[in-house]
């Protein structure tokens, strides 16, 4: 961040009065520009005994399997964002969303929230960001080809909790170094 | 948003290829600037049978009672942010944070997350953003002088759930018009 998005003047980086962190400050129009974590909202879509996964068309982790998820938009509820992403990435319609897993990923300043969701029909097909979309039984989950740890954790919790029929909300911090091979 | 924060050129607003929403686009340096919802992380700090509230020193709702909460910072877990805000606003040290309530406020593009938390000592005092901080028994909660609906909902759930000893995670969307008198 180099220039003020309001007035175009060059920004300074310093701690504002009454604050305790460096911020990007515009002395021309007296604006402090904050940068905050972003929310990724997604679903674990379920049809009968199977769960819906998408094979990623984009980096990072192109070609690996993921749950449909993406950045929450302004003026959107988390449930609306998770529903929208599931339709955009998998052309799947979901209902009855129940919050299930929450992850903090401080190294990339992202918060993930996944909802268990019922597919209203078994229909699905690859959206723009997916190479392939498919329903998987538990024994067919491609565990070695999952895109991110948050996907693996969510699926592991799901199959474990499904055995008991109780699905408590699961929170977890994913603490990693910034080495790209550990990304997410 | 008028100017590119990277290169300082004037921004255009249009739908990028492969997207379905208008974004702020810099044609000089080929950057798309996204704007996303922000996360507010907070605590419901508990000491014995009492809960800790702060009287706000700042607008909006200056003079009204709130739970300690504030914007999550980059490179911070949600629990770290909620713990930090509780110390900044109330000089209270908390531990054993358990996720409790989650609110989507799409009209202001904010997501609130509150954690039940044990105070490690009964010590507390007003931080920079508080006029006053106090521990309240249930019968003394200033229900008519709470700052925001998310505070009232969280406290109502807490006292109701405390009777049963079970505290499931509670999610809720707060849908309001943009009239300032309904703000939050």
Q: Using one digit for the tens of pLDDT, what is the confidence trace for B1-39?
A: 999 999 999 999 999 998 889 999 999 999 999 999 999
Candidates A4, A5, A109: best to mutate against B (most CBs of B within 10 A) is: A5
> Is 90 exceeded by the pLDDT of residue A182?
no
Q: Is B13 on the interface with A (CB under 8 A)?
A: no
The 8-class DSSP code of residue B146 comes to B
Closest CA to A158 of A37, A20, A45, A38: A45
Residue A180 pLDDT grade (very low, low, confident, very high; cuts 50, 70, 90): low
Q: Is B111 on the interface with A (CB under 8 A)?
A: yes
Candidates A33, A37, A73: best to mutate against B (most CBs of B within 10 A) is: A37
ipTM exceeds 0.85, yes or no: yes
To the nearest whole Å, the CA of A79 is away from the closest chain B CA by: 9
- Tokens representing A92? 């799947």
What is the enclosing helix (H) or strand (E) of B78?
helix B78-90
Q: Is A7 on the interface with B (CB under 8 A)?
A: yes
Q: Is B109 on the interface with A (CB under 8 A)?
A: yes
Contact (CB<8Å) A102/B8: no
Does the pTM of the predicted model rise above 0.90?
yes
d(CA B41, CA B77): 10
Whole-number pLDDT of residue B177: 73
What is the enclosing helix (H) or strand (E) of B82?
helix B78-90
Domain ranges of chain B: 1-35, 38-182
Q: What is the mean pLDDT of chain B?
A: 95
Alpha helices by DSSP H, B122-183: 149-164
Q: Is A8 on the interface with B (CB under 8 A)?
A: yes
Contact between B133 and B53 (Cβ < 8 Å): yes
Contact (CB<8Å) A74/B35: yes
What is the average pLDDT across A91-117?
Answer: 98
CATH number of A38-174: 3.90.79.10
Considering only the top CATH level, what class is B1-35?
Answer: mainly beta
Bridge partners, B131 (sequence order): none
Contact (CB<8Å) B78/A111: yes
Mind spelling out the 3-state secondary structure of chain A? CCECCCCCCECEEECCCCCCCCEEEECCCCEEECCCCEEEEEEEEEECCEEEEEEECCCCCCCCEECCEEECCCCCCHHHHHHHHHHHHHCCCEEEEEEEEEEEEHHHCEEEEEEEEEECCCCCCCCCCEEEEEEECHHHCCHHHECCHHHHHHHHHHHHHHHHCCCCCEEEECCCCCCHHHCC
Bridge partners, B134 (sequence order): B53
d(CA A62, CA A176): 21
Residue B178 pLDDT grade (very low, low, confident, very high; cuts 50, 70, 90): low
* CB proximity list for A160: less than 8 A, separation 6 or greater: none
- Please name the member of B3, B76, B173 whose beta carbon is closest to the beta carbon of A4: B3
Contact (CB<8Å) B106/A77: yes
Residue A9 pLDDT grade (very low, low, confident, very high; cuts 50, 70, 90): very high
Give the DSSP letter string of B83-135: HHHHHHHH---EEEEEEEEEEEEGGGTEEEEEEEEEESSS-----TTEEEEEE
CA quadruple B147, B45, B88, B42: dihedral positive or negative?
A: negative
Q: Is A40 on the interface with B (CB under 8 A)?
A: no
Whole-number pLDDT of residue B182: 47
Contact (CB<8Å) B37/A72: yes
d(CA B70, CA B60): 13
Start-to-end CA distance of chain A, whole Å, equals: 23
Closest CA to B118 of B41, B40, B51: B51
Say if A1-35 and A38-174 have the same CATH topology: no
Candidates B169, B170, B177: best to mutate against A (most CBs of A within 10 A) is: B169
Contact (CB<8Å) A39/B35: no
Contact (CB<8Å) B7/A3: yes
Contact (CB<8Å) A39/B79: no
- Tokens representing A38? 């972003």
Residue A6 pLDDT grade (very low, low, confident, very high; cuts 50, 70, 90): very high
- Could you tell me what percent of chain B has a pLDDT over 70? 96
Q: Is A93 on the interface with B (CB under 8 A)?
A: no
Q: Is A10 on the interface with B (CB under 8 A)?
A: yes
Q: Is B17 on the interface with A (CB under 8 A)?
A: no
CATH architecture of B38-182: Alpha-Beta Complex (3.90)
Contact between A160 and A100 (Cβ < 8 Å): no
DSSP 3-state of B143 = helix
Q: Is B78 on the interface with A (CB under 8 A)?
A: yes
- Tokens representing A33? 């520009």
């Amino acid at each position: 961040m180099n220039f003020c998005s309001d007035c175009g003047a060059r920004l300074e980086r310093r701690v504002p009065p009454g604050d305790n962190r460096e911020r990007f400050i515009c002395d021309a129009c007296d604006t402090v520009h904050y940068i905050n974590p972003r929310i990724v909202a997604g679903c674990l879509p379920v049809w009968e005994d199977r769960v819906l996964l998408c094979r990623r068309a984009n980096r990072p982790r192109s070609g690996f399997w993921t749950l449909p998820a993406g950045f929450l938009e302004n003026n959107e509820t988390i449930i609306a964002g998770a529903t929208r992403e599931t339709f955009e990435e998998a052309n799947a319609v979901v209902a009855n969303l129940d919050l299930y897993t929450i992850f903090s990923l401080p190294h990339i300043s992202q918060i993930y929230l996944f909802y268990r969701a019922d597919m209203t029909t078994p229909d699905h097909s690859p959206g723009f960001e997916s190479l392939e979309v498919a329903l998987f039984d538990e024994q067919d989950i491609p565990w070695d080809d999952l895109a991110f740890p948050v996907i693996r954790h969510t699926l592991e919790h799901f199959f474990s909790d499904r055995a008991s029929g109780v699905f408590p909300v699961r929170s977890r911090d994913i603490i990693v170094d910034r080495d790209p091979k550990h990304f997410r």
